[in-house]
A and B are shown apart, each in its own frame.
Chain A
Amino acid sequence: MDLVLAKAMPEDKANAERAVGNVFAAAHGRLPGAGRIADIRARAFEAYERVGLPHRRVEEWKYTDLRVLMRDVLPLAQQPDAPALRRAQAAVEQSAFEPAIKLVLVDGMFASDLSDVARLGKGVDVGTLREVLETSTSDAMAGLVLSTTADAMISLNTAMATDGVVMTIAEGRVLRRPLHVIHVATASSASHFTRSYLHLGDGAHATVVESFVSAETACGYQANNVTIALVGDQASLSHLRVKADAADAVNISSEIIAVGAKAKLNLFNMIHSGAVSRYQGFVTLAGKGAELAVNGVNLLRETQHADTTLVVDHAAPNCVSRQNFRAVVDGAGRSVFQGRIIARPEAQKTDGKLTMRALLLSDQAEADNKPELEIFADDVNCGHGATSGGLDESLLFYFGSRGLSENDAQALLIQAFLGEAIEGVANENLRDFATAQTERWLKARR
């Protein structure tokens, strides 16, 4: 068995790398930023090439083997033309909600005509990655925007990112309208890469929603998006993400967030479409007394694969983190939750909790829950729990005996189950938005 693998692996890897090598070479002229930026990209690509697409023997990617699920990286999508933008607009109109300010990325390029930049208030600055990389004289800013980690998919993103939104919110500013970053795919059998940046000044309050959608007829695309966020001291950020990609799309999104002292971060992540989706968040509670609440929902059917992976690094004392994940898996879907709490030696009085629950609606449904604690401080209060199982038969009978059809009874129980995660969303409008998404999924299930 091992022998066979040992023989098969280098060849697979070589094939995958050759494909990507071509993709990077082909894209080179379209990637913004010269000089030092071009160097950063080249080095990031080398870092990616050394390991290639993550596979099951890379611990962090154990359950989401991209060599199997993705096989190779598709060529970069063309810059969207006028018909593509028109198709994107229809998709944007479906996912937009009032009173949010739309910031639209189409096939990896910022689309100013579809965005509401003019409606931004005072103290909010929104630019594009392209502008920063092409015109910024500040190397520090460009370096930050393109900062990378050991993760191969983030390295690949650093090399390939074509555009993104760069949002800066001034100190003390309280945003009334959410910023809504909408990623739209219009091109089929192509890849796109965006890198966005959010800086929330000290004491500022903001809500940022990210939606991933596809224009009609877009299929088989690959999206790779990274967001870098800095949440200032005593700032408060609600960040909600909904992945509603085309049924056969691959979406890998990563987020690297640093949270300042006494700041509050409320994250909500929902995956309810797409063939293969992974959200990976790396959150560092960097300032004393920071608070993090993460709620995640994976909704799966058929052969969908959804992976929510979160690493919460308690790097300062007195920080609180709550991770709460719910999966509903139908058909032959596979849900993955990986949650890790790290308490560094200096992170005394860390209070970290992690809960994962999966509801399996069919015999073939699968859920892999992997909670991990890495505790290096001695005065901490950390815990985790993971369960998976089917719907409670006695509850279904109670509903049935009251006249509810099996399907309606299941829908009510599923909504109640998901409600445990959705109720953690800070803002009522966003809770309704999230609930509406689950209702859509349940309707499609009938």
Chain B
Amino acid sequence: MPLLEVRNLHVCVEGREILHGLDLTVNAGEVHAIMGPNGSGKSTLSHVITGKPGYQITAGRILFKGEDLLALGPDQRAAKGIFLAFQYPVEIPGVTTMNFLRTALNAQRRARGQSGYSTPHFLKRARTVAKQLNIPQSMLKRGVNVGFSGGEKKRNEILQMALFEPVLCILDEIDSGLDIDALRIVAEGINAMRSPSRSMIVITHYQRLLNYVVPDVVHVMSKGRVVKSGDKQLALELEASGYAQFEDAA
């Protein structure tokens, strides 16, 4: 059984259809890259998989380990191990990163019937992971993403992924806004989490990330559909020739 199965997905926002019958199958342990022009619906797909309100699913289904996801709230999906690294992480003044991370991690663990981490145990883990990602302790004491640079926000997303240990990781343009060193650190963080039981969907515009995080499958999205799928070679072809060839296919 595939880990994630998206079948004939039609999604509307404010009466306008944005995804027009999208299909996608991701098996356990695979890394899929999704590329495609601006506005083709990549972030919309990531939001619908994670349960963001405001989208009408007019047809199709999303199965996670064979179970219908659409009936679940975002928190229930998170507890099942679905994680989204946001293209634009929000700033949350007044809630410290540490408090947020601990509350979220323990909420997920309890929803899965596990016991919550004690504060010292949690702190130790958070500090270790932060160090690997080159995130200073002082950042963890600040409001969530408040005053973080673009790159710091992205690293904070990877920190959460590493702490929560999800089963399906969706990374929406995790490489945007990262300098060369940060890209390498983030890519190492992602690669360290690759495992036969964990799958990833990496949304990106650039081949460079895929040099580090080598995908098993590459998809091209255009106008709300997956119009072509192939192996890592496809990303190289796109880099050379652009998306024009797919305009008609969509």
> Contacts of B86 on A, CB cut-off 8 Å?
398
User: Is the Cβ of A416 less than 8 Å from the Cβ of B93?
Assistant: yes
Q: Say whether, besides A398-B89, A400-B73, A416-B92, A393 and B108 are in contact (CB < 8 Å).
A: no
Q: Which residues of A contact B53 (CB under 8 A)?
A: 393, 397
Complex contacts, B160 vs chain A, CB 8 Å = 402
Shortest Cβ distance from residue A361 to the other chain B in the assembled complex, whole angstroms: 16
Determine if B204 is an interface residue (Cβ-Cβ < 8 Å): no
Q: Are A405 and B75 in contact (CB under 8 A)?
A: yes
Instruction: With A397-B52, A397-B53, A412-B103 as known contacts, state yes or no: A403 contacts B93, CB within 8 Å.
Output: no
Residue B164 lies at the interface, judged by CB distance under 8 Å to chain A: yes
Other-chain contact of A403, B89, B99, B108 (Cβ < 8 Å): B108
CB of A61 within 8 A of chain B? no
Interface residues on A, range: 20 to 34
Q: Is A395 an interface residue (CB 8 A)?
A: yes
**Interface membership of chain B positions 75-104, coded 1 if the CB is closer than 8 angstroms to chain A and 0 otherwise:** 101110001101001101111000110011
Question: With contacts A401-B74, A403-B107 known, what are 14 further pairs, Cβ within 8 A?
Answer: A397-B53, A397-B74, A398-B90, A399-B104, A401-B50, A401-B75, A401-B84, A402-B104, A403-B78, A404-B75, A404-B107, A408-B107, A413-B95, A420-B93
Residues of A contacting B164 with CB < 8 Å?
A: 402-403
Give the distance in Å from the alpha carbon of A31 to the alpha carbon of B121 in the complex: 62
Judge whether A416 and B95 touch: CB under 8 Å.
yes
Question: Which single member of A392, A395, A397, A404 contacts B103 (CB below 8 Å)?
Answer: A404
Q: What residues on A are CB-neighbors of B50 within 8 Å?
A: 401
Bound Cα distance A363, B104 (Å): 28
Q: How far is the CA of A395 from the CA of B89 in the complex (A)?
A: 9
A417-B93 Cα distance, complex, nearest whole Å: 8
> A400–B94 contact, CB under 8 A?
no
Asked if A402 contacts B89 (CB within 8 A), the reply is no
Chain A residue numbers with a CB within 8 Å of B75 are 400-401, 403-406
How far is it, in angstroms, between the C-alpha of A404 and the C-alpha of B90 when the chains are bound?
15
Enumerate chain B interface residues (CB-CB to A < 8 A): 50-54, 73-75, 77-79, 83-84, 86, 89-90, 92-95, 99-100, 103-105, 107-108, 111, 143, 160, 164
Interface: A21 (CB within 8 A): no
Distance to closest chain B CB from A422 (angstroms): 10
In the complex, the answer to whether A394 meets B51 with C-beta atoms within 8 Å is no
Residue of A at shortest CB range from B94? A416
**Which of chain A's residues have a CB closer than 8 A to the CB of B77?**
401
A402 and B78: CB pair below 8 A?
yes
With a cutoff of 8 Å between Cβ atoms, the chain B residues found around residue A416 in the complex are 92-95, 143
Q: Are B90 and A395 in contact (CB under 8 A)?
A: yes
Closest to B144 in A: A398
Partner of B94, one of A393, A403, A420: A420
A331 on interface, CB distance cutoff 8 Å:
no
Does A419 reach chain B (CB closer than 8 Å)? yes
CB pair A408–B51 under 8 Å, yes or no, is no
| Docked-complex contact B103 and A408, CB < 8 angstroms | yes
Contact B104 A403 (CB under 8 A): yes
Task: Report chain B residues within 8 Å CB of A402.
Answer: 78, 100, 104, 107-108, 160, 164
User: What are 9 A-B contacts with C-beta separation under 8 Å?
Assistant: A394-B90, A397-B53, A398-B89, A401-B83, A402-B78, A403-B104, A404-B104, A419-B94, A420-B93
Cα(A419)–Cα(B86), bound, Å: 26
Residues of A within 8 A of B104 (CB): 399, 402-404
**Closest Cβ–Cβ distance, residue B193 to chain A (whole Å):** 17
Say yes or no: B95 contacts A400, CB within 8 Å.
Answer: no
Q: Which residues of B contact A419 (CB under 8 A)?
A: 94
Q: Is A415 an interface residue (CB 8 A)?
A: yes
A420 to B146, CA, bound (A): 14
A-chain residues with CB within 8 Å of residue B51 when the two chains form the complex: 400-401
Measured CA separation A406–B50 after assembly (Å): 14
- Minimum CB–CB distance for A232 against chain B, Å: 35
Which A residues are in CB contact (< 8 Å) with B83? 401
What's the Cα separation between A402 and B164 when bound, in Å? 9
For the complex, what is the distance from the CA of A277 to the CA of B143, rounded to whole Å?
33
Q: How far apart are the CA atoms of A419 and B94 in the complex, in Å?
A: 7
Do B89 and A401 touch across chains, with their CB atoms under 8 A apart?
A: no
Q: Which residues of A contact B107 (CB under 8 A)?
A: 402-405, 408
- Which residues of the other chain, B, contact A420 by a CB distance below 8 angstroms? 93-94
Give the docked Cα–Cα distance between A217 and B8 (Å): 61
Which of B92, B94, B105 has the largest count of A CB atoms less than 10 A from its CB? B94
